[in-house]
Amino acid sequence: MEIKTVGIVGAGQMGNGIAHVFALADFDVVLNDISQDSLDAAMELIGNNLDRQIGRGAITEDDKAATLARIKTTLDLKDVAGTDLVIEAATERESVKQAIFEDLLPHLKPNTILTSNTSSISITRLASRTDRPEKFMGFHFMNPVPIMQLVELIRGIATDEPTYKALLAVVEKLGKTAASAEDFPAFIVNRILMPMINEAVYTLYEGVGSVKSIDESMKLGANHPMGPLELADFIGLDTCLAIMNVLHEGLADTKYRPCPLLTKYVEAGWLGRKTQRGFYDYSGETPTPTR
């Protein structure tokens, strides 16, 4: 099926970026959230990010106006159900995602494809709670969505070939690159990335190095654009912990045990950039290590 309209559930860090790239690629977008403030903030951020693209010469003012005109915001989840493709981009908690799909089911068109932007949760299990597991896939964008080129496509055990090919065509239209992953905990990117971040936290926890020395070592010694602790703050420490828990529980291997220090930071509400404090303190002009 040809996909022309896209519904996005969740206007947060990932949802607004997904709305941005779809609208810029000529899809009509319905962006849903439970908070009007979140929707307003998302539209403001999309506008600012489009301005950055104008500044780089990537798009024109007319492109920006057309992109914003293609995005409709709504507080009513039913408004999303009439689209060709639904992308759930809510918080990384399985119970929340399942509740969203259950609320959508009575209102969906017969051919609507359901997807989740989950970074770690079982696609097969999410799909099994819907009326169309054959039309359900993992559709995992990387953050920040307008910049990052990769999209992970994850087939559940019941996903059919037409659904996979339809999403592959969508990724191509977005100008991004698809990586096909099997439905195992955390897929490809986070299966590799999160244990590295967790090991960096262990390195800090055990006193092997400071926040500054760990991040500088990986930036200058491994040529990473961001240090692992800086990256964890950017992603959100609660998200990092959630993914490590999925890996630990799903694969039953102690090498995926979340570092106690990561758990402690999350318990303290030190979640990284979004709370102005994580492994760095962001309240001043420049980030300052907290350990």
What CATH number is associated with residue 40? 3.40.50.720
* Structural domain boundaries enclosing 266: 195-289
Residues 157 and 24 placed together within one structural domain of the fold: yes
**Per annotation, catalytic residue among 32, 49, 92, 152:** 152
Residue 186 lies in a domain: no
Domain boundary among 147, 181, 215: 181
Other CB atoms within 10 Å distance of the CB of residue 261: 17
Q: Could you tell me where the beta strands, DSSP code E, fall in the chain?
A: 5-9, 28-32, 71-74, 85-88, 113-116, 136-141, 150-155, 177-181, 280-281, 288-289
Q: What is the CATH number of the domain that holds 204?
A: 1.10.1040.10
Give a yes or no: residue 190 inside a domain. Answer: no
| Cβ(116)–Cβ(183) below 8 Å | no
Cα-based torsion angle of the residue sequence 179, 202, 268, 252 in order, rounded to the nearest 10 degrees: 60
Average pLDDT over residues 76-89: 97
Residue of 49, 92, 140, 198 with catalytic role: 140
Per-residue pLDDT, 75: 97
Beta bridge partners of 180: 153
Same-domain status, 122 and 67: yes
Residues 152 and 278 in one domain: no
Burial class (CB in 10 A: 0-12, 13-18, 19+), 177: exposed
Same domain, 90 and 221: no
- CB-facing half-sphere around the CA of 104: CA atoms within 13 A: 32
Q: Which of 119, 120, 122, 198 is catalytic?
A: 119
Residues 21, 147 within the same domain: yes
Per the annotation, the verdict on 190 as an active-site residue is: yes
Considering 146, 181, 216, which residue would you say is the last residue of a domain? Answer: 181
Asked if pLDDT for residue 120 goes beyond 90, the answer is: no
- Of the listed 32, 38, 117, 190, which one is catalytic? 190
Percent of the chain with pLDDT over 70: 100
Co-location of 245 and 129 in the same domain: no
Contact present, 86 and 171 (Cβ < 8 Å): no
Length of the chain: 291
pTM comes to: 0.89
Which tokens is 70 given?
């293609």
pLDDT in tens, 139-153: 999 999 999 999 999
Average pLDDT over residues 57-70: 97
Can 2 be counted among the known catalytic residues? Answer: no
- Considering its fold, how many domains does the chain have in total? 2
Average pLDDT value over all residues in the chain: 96
Is the same domain home to 207 and 171? no
Q: What is the pLDDT of residues 2-21, one digit of tens each?
A: 899 999 999 998 999 999 99
Q: Is 256 found in the same domain as 113?
A: no
pLDDT at 91: 87
